[in-house]
Amino acid sequence: MKKGLSVKLGLVLLLCFGMLLSACSSTKDGNGSATKGNVGNKEDAGATTTPQEQVKISFMGHGSPQEKDIFTKLIKSYETKYPNVKVEYTSVPPAEYNQKLSTLIASGKTPDVFYVSGPQFYKYAEAGTIQNLQPFLETTELFQEGNVWKQALDRYRYDGKQLGQGDLYGLPKDVGPWAMAYNKTMFEEAGVELPPAEVGKWTWDNWLDAAKKLTKDENGDGKIDIYGGANFNLDGAVWASGGDFIDYSTGTITIDTPEFTNAMQWVADLRLKHKVSPSPEDEKAMNSYSRFVAGKVGMFPMGPWDQPAFWDLPFEWDIAAWPVNPATGKAGTWVGSMGYSVSSKSKHAQEAFNLAAFLALDVEGQKQNYELGQAVPNLIDMAKGEFVSYDKAPANRQVFLDIIEDYGHPTVDFGSKDTKWLDTFRQEAGQVWDGKMTAAEWAKELQPKLQELYDKGNK
């Protein structure tokens, strides 16, 4: 999760966004799942093949070597549960995944089951590359719709025209609430009141006050050594302000609205004006993730997948609610998700579906997933039960669930088949982060360009 040391903050925000998606995807499920909770279900889901008939299916994902190890174990559990099925598993480096997948699809070698992100999901659902899972879901005992986060499931609905409604064409691999971590030890040593876990109890002003109190030049050389906060989530700030990047119902880019530009300026000013967040120069010397880990940043966003690394930190930490914009009383942040889809050309669709359902919904797999600190369970009863009371940091686990249920948003790319417009936004935003232009000037200038890019790739 550590970033290169020489990236500009604008890029860091971009990477950070990428990290949300890819790290969501780096969920590492547990192992040995079928052997405990779900033995003896070989006939479930109305398997179309007899136990004697040997079937081979392919599964492609991406992630770290660690993720690959965990999936290898999980697939063994699936094969134990369905002994007539053999899974050929391929894990490719995340940066190569999309290209590899589209090459396979183009050459008629689509994997039976594969990871899908938001933009790919839209593209492949529309093109008929992935199949409607609804008929399968109606026959599997693994799926109890009321016990899976709606916020995750709805990402994978498609009604033939629009996303977010209709039948399920994918199942969530995970649900990734982007929370705000804080260095509890630093707060206590500085005598600063701890950020509350409940949303609405503190505002952007309170956040800034705390950040100012924590920011320090320790050795008096005129250079700040400890920053109050870093990587305040722009997208969340925009949503908290009642703005958005785009109105997907009309396909209009809305970055030039006051709601948007005021939020962006507020985030930029944390560094430019208030100097409570690292500058691009600081980022070059040490990125914000490394700074937080080194105890040099007070508040820093994290996803559930960051837990294992944070469990090893030499200071106490927790997560807090995102502060609300005082003008609206609202908070905002991301809820990421990656999914599993089944090829519409699969010769063994039932077995392929069974694998996707097993990975997304199996009780034992989900349990191991959260115990390893990789994700919030997809299963609501588990998330609200044993997950919130799990005896490891963060203590305020409820914050993750509040984000999922109350104020988290799908990432901005969800709803775009082509994301060049958004990539361009992230690349160009350095103009504002560096203080070369105000958010309002910049957005006014950039909006037509983004609109053209969006129209070209999506209309």
Contacts to Ca ion by CB under 5 A: 217, 219, 221, 223, 225
Q: How far is the CB of 224 from Ca ion (least distance, A)?
A: 6
Report the alpha-carbon distance of residue 401 to residue 238 in Å, rounded.
21
Pick 224 or 264: Cβ nearer Ca ion: 224
Q: How far is the CB of 220 from Ca ion (least distance, A)?
A: 7
Tell me the chain's radius of gyration from C-alpha atoms: 22
Pick 223 or 273: Cβ nearer Ca ion: 223
**Cβ count within 10 A of residue 436:** 10
**Cβ count within 10 A of residue 205:** 12
Q: How far is the CB of 274 from Ca ion (least distance, A)?
A: 17
Q: Rounded to an integer, what is the distance from CA 9 to the centroid of its chain?
A: 20
Q: Kindly write down the DSSP assignment for every residue of 194-211, as one continuous string.
A: PPPSSTTS-BHHHHHHHH
Q: How far is the CB of 458 from Ca ion (least distance, A)?
A: 47
Q: How far is the CB of 225 from Ca ion (least distance, A)?
A: 4
Structure tokens at 422: 């958004």
Pick 279 or 451: Cβ nearer Ca ion: 279
Pick 223 or 456: Cβ nearer Ca ion: 223
Q: What angle do CA 243, 339, 139 make, to 5 degrees?
A: 120
Q: For strands 171-172 and 339-342, give the pairing.
A: antiparallel
Q: Which residues 6+ apart lie within 8 Å of 393 measured at CB?
A: 307, 310, 311, 316, 317, 318
Pick 221 or 312: Cβ nearer Ca ion: 221
Structure tokens at 182: 């804080």
Q: How far is the CB of 218 from Ca ion (least distance, A)?
A: 6
Structure tokens at 270: 């944390």
Q: How far is the CB of 229 from Ca ion (least distance, A)?
A: 18
Pick 53 or 217: Cβ nearer Ca ion: 217
Structure tokens at 121: 């999901």
Pick 88 or 217: Cβ nearer Ca ion: 217
